[in-house]
Amino acid sequence: MLCGWGRVPVAGREVRSEDLEELTRRAVLCRGLGRSYGDSSLPPPSHPVVAATPLADRILSFDGATGRLRAEAGLSLRALNRTFLPRGFYAPVTPGTQLITLGGMVAADVHGKNHHRDGCFGAHVTRLRMRVADGRILECSPEEETELFRATVGGMGLTGHILEVECRLARVPSTWIVAESERIHDVDRFIDGLKEAGVRWPYTMGWIDCLSRGSLLGRGILMKGRWAEPDEAPPGLPRPRRRPSVPLVLPGWVINRWTVRAFNAAFFRCHLPRVRRRLVDPESFFYPLDAIGHWNRMYGPRGFTQYQCVLPESAGRGAARRFLELLTRRGGASMLCVIKDCGAEGIGLLSFPKPGISIALDIPIRDDTQDLVDALNELVVTERGRIYLAKDQFTRPAHFRAMEPRLEEWTCIRRKWDPEGRLRSAQSVRLLADRP
């Protein structure tokens, strides 16, 4: 059995090897560290084997003058950050976990707290080495085999196996982050707060309580951050912390309406009303959840799904309010609800972000989860938004087509490189009508 981070299993197994070229010869899908929530990294039913990349993790070159890095696709973001932070470099874009691989970062074209300023990871990728469906190995970049490059960035590994990634790391002035956070009392003020903060702060995001209603709808904590200047930062490197772990799968009733309500209220109230400013190490700032091993076990034996959508600027700021109202009306109890403003669309043809507000929530799987996701998707379609494939497990093909006007162009390019439809995943079978 094999599952995504949401812990909904399908039949399948991984084959591991240091030799990615050999491993991808017959593979239909690669899988990194399995942090995509849904079925993106899971094999199609008729070929229940995925090529696991994490052992292929060699750094091939690094230029300390330009920050240009080339590495095998299985290199983890954690190894990258820990290797290069002492030398003054960090990943230019990072999502909320560093337990992911470079290949996965390209395939999902991940975004982070600095999307409004620096775009997706794909914007910093300069070159890819790939094995395409007919077995050839070739390189693509924004200048060479441009179509393939654009279809692969955010293409969920469906256009070819990513073997090596070349990208530019960001130079950072110190090894610490200056973080500020404050309480915000409703969703409209939250969106204004994000936009305002985004002008001055490279990293912004917020946590909202999606169970509060009425005038408190969307209250939460807004967080901002930037790299500390050398004179603000303590000397030396932050020490990696020991991780506690959720030792076993908790019973399904642990996460319910009341515990979530209590958790959200406590989280809000524990933050004092004034602005809080502190110096934190980058790992606690960017990856608070990585501090708890196997936190996905909290959601019980049926697992959970993360729902993430972007509501475009064109829909007006009322869209986020309408989304949260629908969510509270349907009783979707999410422990974590993360809100973030997105900047311009990147080069990836199927990448998730576009200008607007992104909302992500964790939904424990219940009998009515499909209905809830359908209802949220209807609203997202109406608002002309879209969902994030790296999180998705329940979206229906019709909804996805309606959200994704770029799908046709992407599919054309994909078919050109893989006419027989050999490369596929459980997700592409479900969502893109690939053969099982």
Partner 1 sequence: MKVAFLGATRGMGRSLSRLMAARGDELFLLGREPAGLERSARDLEARAGRGSVGVAVCDLEQPAGFAAALDAAEAGLGGLDAVVVTAGVFATQDVLEQDPERARRILEVDFTDTVTFCEHARRRLLARGGGTLVVFSSVAGERARKPVVLYGAAKAGLTRYLEGLDHRFHAQGLRTVCVKPGFVKTSMTDGLPAPPFAGELDEVARVVLRAIDRGQPVVYAPPIWRWVMLVVRALPRSIMRRAGF
Footprint on this chain of partner 1 (rule: CB under 8 A): 15-18, 55, 58-62, 64, 83, 86-87
Side-chain half-sphere of 262: how many Cα atoms within 13 Å?
A: 5
Min separation Cβ 406 and partner 1, Å: 36
Nearer to partner 1, 54 or 119 (CB): 54
> Degrees (nearest 5) of the Cα angle 34, 40, 42?
70
Judge contact between 354 and 119, C-beta under 8 A: no
What three-state secondary structure class fits 386?
strand
Integer Cα distance of 421 and 433 in angstroms: 10
315-322, long-range: CB within 8 Å, 24+ apart, which pairs?
Answer: 315/356, 315/383, 315/384, 315/385, 317/188, 317/191, 317/192, 317/357, 319/356, 319/357, 319/383, 319/385, 320/187, 320/190, 320/191, 320/218, 320/357, 320/359, 321/187, 321/188, 321/217, 321/218, 322/379, 322/383
Q: How far is the CB of 276 from partner 1 (least distance, A)?
A: 35
Q: Which of 84/287 has CB closer to partner 1?
A: 84
Q: How far is the CB of 22 from partner 1 (least distance, A)?
A: 10
Least CB distance to partner 1 at residue 212 (A): 41
Looking at the Cβ atoms of 15 and 262, the one nearer to partner 1 is 15
Closest to partner 1 by CB, 100 or 339: 100
Minimum distance of partner 1 from residue 333's CB (angstroms) = 35
Q: Based on CB atoms, which residue is closest to partner 1, 236 or 273?
A: 236
DSSP secondary structure of 24-64: TSS-S-EE-S--SSSSTTSPPTTS-EEEE-TT---EEEEET
- Closer of 59 and 246 to partner 1 (Cβ): 59
